Amino acid sequence: MAIQRELPARFTLDVAYVGNRGHDVQTQFNENAANVVGLPGNNGRPLFLPFGKSADVTTWIGTRTQYDSLQTKLDRRFSNGLLVTTSYTLGRGWSYVNGDSNSVIATPADIELSWARTDQDRLHSLVESFLYQLPWGPDRRWLRDGAAAAILGGWQVSGIFAAQSGSPIGITMSNATLNAPGNTQRPDVNGTPNVIGAVGPGALWFDTSVFSSPASNTFGNSPRNGVLDGPAYVNLDATIAKLFTIGRTKGEIRADIFNITNTPHFSSPNGTYLGTTFGQITSTIAGSERSMRFGLRFLF
């Protein structure tokens, strides 16, 4: 469902609800994971007592997915050398497994404990793109003739700005005291941990004191992907290009600059309770540092 409205100054506004429901989505399931909690060793595995099988047996079952969002877009159509598109999404996605193709339901003994936000879920997402042609040169408003027009003309600047809230932090722990092989254990949590915001080895990004070990033979109360989100993501990519003509040949010289501000894009904190770096951010997203690419193109 969408509504579009034309606004003054060549702007248009779109507001839409976008959602989907997935039914009988084929999802990997370990049918030899313990389906009861608290039995010692492999005794909770369905295939262990009758057949002596302790290895995982992966099969497929049908599950569901859900996505709901408010999506808005404000466009300024190209005019007088300027084009701007601004989009904002407020959304939530839910599923039983992580986003990668090898994910298996983490709690076969209680499947509904795995129903949670998707790993890629970000509540807020703002993206703005723009293109601006500098107003001088042969086909522009000012300085159309002469050597200065040839040198200064044909330049344009474009870019993409993105700002997104953080994705969920996966909080887990050893399942040794759960006595349910094949099931993922999570700690107990008392409220929502405060975000301290420190980064680096030994520095806590969130308060870890609110977590504790659950009683033996019970699942912890921390929901999957439901305790805390990781760092927000803010990035600006830009392109500077010059268009030129030589006879019948048109060309373009361009420089693409990714993460032009060289803003650190931190990975999510370590989510392994009782691990040595639990609650710490010790890395950035691979390949997210500033980089540049130069190009030359001819059209004939």
Segment 269-294 mean pLDDT:
95
What was the pLDDT predicted at 149?
Answer: 67
Residue 99 pLDDT exceeds 90: no
- Pick the residue with more confidence: 174 or 140? 174
CA 199, 203, 209, 214 torsion: positive or negative? positive
Question: Which DSSP helix (H) or strand (E) runs through 70?
Answer: strand 58-79
Per-residue model confidence as pLDDT tens digits over 184-209: 999 999 999 999 999 999 999 999 99
Q: How far apart are the first and last CA of the chain?
A: 44
Token pair of 129 as six digits: 């793109």
For 118-129, letters b (16+ CB in 10 Å) and e give bbebbeebebbb
What does the alpha-carbon distance between residue 65 and residue 105 come to, in Å, rounded to a whole number? 13
Q: For residue 298, which amino acid is it? A: F
Q: Pairing state of beta strands 211-212 and 58-79?
A: unpaired
What was the pLDDT predicted at 97?
Answer: 94
pLDDT exceeding 90 applies to what percent of the chain?
82
What was the pLDDT predicted at 101?
Answer: 65
What was the pLDDT predicted at 102?
Answer: 75
What was the pLDDT predicted at 134?
Answer: 86
CA 186, 190, 195, 201 torsion: positive or negative? negative
What was the pLDDT predicted at 217?
Answer: 96
Token pair of 127 as six digits: 């993206």
| CA-to-CA dists, residue 63 to 95, 103, 105, 186, 222, angstroms | 8, 13, 10, 22, 22
Token pair of 154 as six digits: 């044909």
Per-residue model confidence as pLDDT tens digits over 37-89: 999 999 999 999 999 999 999 999 999 999 999 999 999 988 888 999 999 99
Q: What confidence tier does 248 reach under pLDDT thresholds 50, 70, 90?
A: confident
Token pair of 236 as six digits: 């600006």
Per-residue model confidence as pLDDT tens digits over 117-171: 999 999 999 999 999 998 876 666 666 666 666 777 789 999 999 999 999 999 9
Residue 260 pLDDT exceeds 80: yes
pLDDT exceeding 70 applies to what percent of the chain?
95
Q: What confidence tier does 300 reach under pLDDT thresholds 50, 70, 90?
A: confident
- Pick the residue with more confidence: 222 or 99? 222
What does the alpha-carbon distance between residue 288 and residue 270 come to, in Å, rounded to a whole number? 19
What does the alpha-carbon distance between residue 166 and residue 267 come to, in Å, rounded to a whole number? 10
Residue 270 pLDDT exceeds 90: yes
Question: What does the DSSP 8-state code read for residue 78?
Answer: E
